[in-house]
């Protein structure tokens, strides 16, 4: 039996909290052979990134490795002096981070940063050799114009290209092990597929081993030979990818797999003559004169129904919400609330018009004032719109907390900082409900949450909709969410509506070409999905060429 390239034994990592040490990783074992890809999966706080960094013999400030061994190619990393470890990093073990934009130095070109490791730090190549090698890697990772892209600065390339440039940087010294920490999470689905394919092929070609960290099962299914599931610092199980997908053993793994199955009952189609709660009629809008970011957008939202506005970043879906709420006045078109035209600007709208329309935000962290208690956050709209004070107001806050499944006595006097991500999002929902609105805009409400938590939030929203007859506008880039909850889907690209229709229409062919691209880019649990999709696209392309 050959010795594994990386072997982690009984690793314990602790993080400093107040005066004591809290466990982050509790005795995890891990083996990785040469050329093998291991997927690490789990919710946020599971210790995936901490474990990934520990594989380089590194731990973040405020954490410490309290026990265990990390053996890389026969060397015990934890007992090596820091100087020796530094010589390994970048040369034999490399790291690719989630947001490439934050890791590149904006003042240097891509090529200069590429050559830094092999030339200036590890002295294994001459500048000219390193640059030639860089161009090869750029080509291998399918970056456009590989001969010249190295002359660009980080802000001059797109997010997906930057992520690939970072992967190229990690491969610069032909490392034996690369750690990918959520490399495609911040990307749009259509970009993600290209980056995934590029990374996978490059890893295969240079025969490096990799640890691939992600919370997205479908992604890890494409990339990894084996999958390890983590939960709060404990290993749940580890299996080869195909076995894991077909037959997860542990309850927790099964629950992760089941998440994507949630489907709401579709709401009945509205009567043809029913007046919509909100009508968006031919809206155009611009931030800079004569550069419209929205062009002639129209859709209706009916009582008790959910409309999903889907598109990639930059498609104008968030701008549409800004126009509806009055933050950005439209340059053309109008918005009607229950058949009455709404004034364009926020300041001109009446208190009752404002009350009817509420918003729930993507980042619950920034959506709640950290200095106000839950009582104040939920109580304020009640006081402001309904004029209730004192005991009456508190009664209402308690009712709302109960309806979002949080115990009033436990939570009413807490600050947002004392809540988990999912709980914060629930408070955001309660604040919107406190105004007793007819219509709520949900701006990517689940995309910052773990899958299990996100599903709970979707179920809650669905129940509240049934109870109160709310109309929702879901802004999202996640087609799984759309499939779970939408009655009506609006697909946007470059500020225009490409296609709209009921959920069933959208998910059954024939598709509009852009919808088809979006749909086919959503990763599926099938490990062969990436190959199939790429093959189909290639075939479609050759068909067009012929």
Nearer to another protein, 424 or 462 (CB): 424
**Should residue 471 be labelled a site residue for another protein when binding is judged by CB under 8 A?**
no
**Count of residues near another protein by CB under 8 A:** 25
State the sign of the Cα–Cα–Cα–Cα dihedral 218, 223, 228, 230: negative
Beta strands in 436-495, from DSSP E residues, in sequence order: 439-443, 471-476, 488-493
Pick the closest to residue 180 from 232, 222, 151 (CA basis): 222
Nearer to another protein, 89 or 349 (CB): 349
Nearest distance from C-beta of residue 427 to another protein, angstroms: 11
Strand order in the sheet with 278-288: 291-301, 278-288, 332-337, 340-341
Q: Is 414 exposed, middle or buried (0-12, 13-18, 19+ CB in 10 A)?
A: middle
DSSP readout, 344-376? SSGGGS-HHHHHHEEEE-S-HHHHS-TTS-HHH
Nearer to another protein, 366 or 402 (CB): 366
At 414, list the tokens. Answer: 């807490």
Nearest distance from C-beta of residue 253 to another protein, angstroms: 34
Q: Between residue 261 and residue 280, which ones bind another protein under the rule CB under 8 A? A: none
Nearer to another protein, 6 or 367 (CB): 367
Nearer to another protein, 253 or 425 (CB): 425
**Should residue 472 be labelled a site residue for another protein when binding is judged by CB under 8 A?**
no
Pick the closest to residue 124 from 85, 81, 92 (CA basis): 92
Nearest distance from C-beta of residue 417 to another protein, angstroms: 12
Nearest distance from C-beta of residue 327 to another protein, angstroms: 7
Pick the closest to residue 230 from 380, 26, 382, 35 (CA basis): 26
**Should residue 346 be labelled a site residue for another protein when binding is judged by CB under 8 A?**
yes
Nearer to another protein, 168 or 337 (CB): 337
Nearest distance from C-beta of residue 333 to another protein, angstroms: 20
Find where tokens 């940087």 sit: 169
Nearer to another protein, 171 or 441 (CB): 441
d(CA 446, CA 17): 28
Q: Which stretch binds another protein (CB under 8 A): 195-203, 258-266, 325-333, 494-502?
A: 325-333
Nearer to another protein, 357 or 486 (CB): 357
Nearest distance from C-beta of residue 16 to another protein, angstroms: 9
**Should residue 325 be labelled a site residue for another protein when binding is judged by CB under 8 A?**
yes
Instruction: Answer for the pair 20, 181: CB distance below 8 angstroms, yes or no.
Output: no
Give Cβ neighbours of residue 355 (< 8 Å, ≥ 6 apart).
Answer: 385, 435, 436, 437
Nearest distance from C-beta of residue 283 to another protein, angstroms: 18
Nearest distance from C-beta of residue 363 to another protein, angstroms: 6
Nearer to another protein, 55 or 360 (CB): 360
Nearer to another protein, 327 or 341 (CB): 327
Site string for another protein, 400-439 (x = CB under 8 A): -------------------------------x---x----
Q: Is the peptide bond before 510 cis (omega within 30 degrees of 0)?
A: yes
Give Cβ neighbours of residue 315 (< 8 Å, ≥ 6 apart).
Answer: 492, 493, 494, 495
At 273, list the tokens. Answer: 């003559």
Nearest distance from C-beta of residue 146 to another protein, angstroms: 38
In Å, what is the CA distance from 369 to each residue of 131, 355, 366, 427, 431? 49, 20, 7, 11, 12
Nearer to another protein, 301 or 435 (CB): 435
Nearest distance from C-beta of residue 342 to another protein, angstroms: 13
Q: Which stretch binds another protein (CB under 8 A): 200-208, 324-332, 476-484, 512-520?
A: 324-332
Nearest distance from C-beta of residue 101 to another protein, angstroms: 19
Beta bridge partners of 306: 472
**Should residue 317 be labelled a site residue for another protein when binding is judged by CB under 8 A?**
no
Pick the closest to residue 460 from 503, 429, 419, 482 (CA basis): 429
Q: Between residue 347 and residue 386, which ones bind another protein under the rule CB under 8 A? A: 349, 351, 354, 357-359, 361, 363, 366-372, 380-381, 384-385
The residues of the shown chain that bind another protein, judged by CB under 8 A, are: 325-327, 346, 349, 351, 354, 357-359, 361, 363, 366-372, 380-381, 384-385, 431, 435
């Amino acid at each position: 039996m050959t010795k594994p390239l990386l072997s982690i034994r009984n690793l314990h990592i602790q993080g400093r909290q107040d005066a004591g040490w809290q466990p982050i990783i509790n005795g995890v074992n891990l083996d990785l052979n040469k050329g093998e890809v291991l997927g690490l999966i789990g919710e946020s706080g599971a210790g995936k990134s901490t474990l990934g960094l520990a594989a380089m013999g590194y731990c973040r400030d405020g954490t410490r490795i309290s026990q265990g061994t990390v053996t890389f190619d026969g060397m015990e990393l934890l007992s090596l002096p820091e100087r020796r470890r530094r010589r390994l990093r970048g040369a034999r073990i490399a790291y690719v981070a989630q947001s490439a934009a934050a890791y590149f130095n904006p003042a240097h070109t891509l090529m200069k940063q590429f050559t830094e490791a092999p030339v200036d730090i590890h002295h294994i190549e001459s500048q000219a050799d390193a640059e030639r090698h860089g161009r090869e890697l750029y080509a291998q990772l399918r970056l456009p114009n590989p001969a010249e892209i190295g002359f660009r600065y980080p802000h001059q390339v797109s997010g997906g290209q930057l992520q690939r440039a970072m992967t190229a940087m990690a491969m610069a010294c032909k490392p034996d092990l690369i750690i990918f920490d959520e490399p495609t999470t911040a990307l749009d689905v259509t970009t993600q597929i290209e980056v995934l394919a590029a990374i996978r092929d490059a890893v295969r070609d240079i025969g490096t081993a990799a640890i691939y960290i992600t919370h997205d099962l479908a992604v890890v299914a494409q990339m990894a030979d084996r999958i390890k599931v983590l939960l709060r610092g404990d290993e749940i199980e580890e299996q080869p990818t195909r076995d894991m997908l077909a037959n997860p053993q542990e309850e927790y793994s099964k629950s992760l797999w089941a998440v994507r199955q949630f489907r709401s009952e579709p709401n009945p189609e509205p009567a043809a003559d029913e007046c919509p709660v909100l009508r968006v009629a031919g809206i155009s809008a611009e931030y800079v004169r004569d550069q419209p970011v929205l062009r002639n957008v129209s859709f209706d939202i009916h009582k008790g129904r959910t409309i999903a506005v889907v598109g990639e970043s930059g498609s104008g879906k968030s701008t549409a919400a800004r126009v509806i709420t009055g933050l950005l006045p439209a340059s053309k078109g109008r918005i009607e609330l229950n058949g009455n035209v709404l004034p364009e600007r926020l300041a001109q709208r009446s208190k009752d018009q404002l009350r009817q329309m509420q918003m729930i935000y993507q980042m619950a962290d920034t959506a709640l004032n950290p200095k106000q208690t839950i009582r104040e956050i939920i109580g304020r709209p009640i006081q402001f719109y309904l004029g209730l004070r004192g005991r009456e107001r508190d009664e209402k806050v308690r009712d709302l907390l109960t309806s979002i499944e949080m115990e009033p006595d436990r939570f009413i006097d807490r600050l947002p900082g004392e809540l988990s991500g999912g709980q914060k999002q629930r408070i955001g929902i309660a604040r919107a409900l406190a105004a007793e609105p007819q219509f709520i805009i949900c701006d990517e409400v689940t995309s910052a949450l773990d899958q299990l938590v996100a599903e709970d939030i979707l179920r809650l929203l669905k129940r509240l909709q049934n109870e109160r007859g709310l109309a929702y506008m879901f802004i999202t880039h996640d087609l799984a969410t759309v499939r779970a909850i939408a009655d009506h889907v609006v697909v946007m690209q470059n500020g225009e509506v490409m296609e709209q229709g009921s959920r069933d229409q959208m998910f059954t062919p024939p598709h509009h070409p852009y919808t088809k691209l979006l749909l086919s880019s959503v990763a599926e649990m099938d490990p062969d999905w990436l190959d199939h999709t790429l093959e189909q696209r290639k075939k479609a392309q050759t068909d067009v060429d012929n």
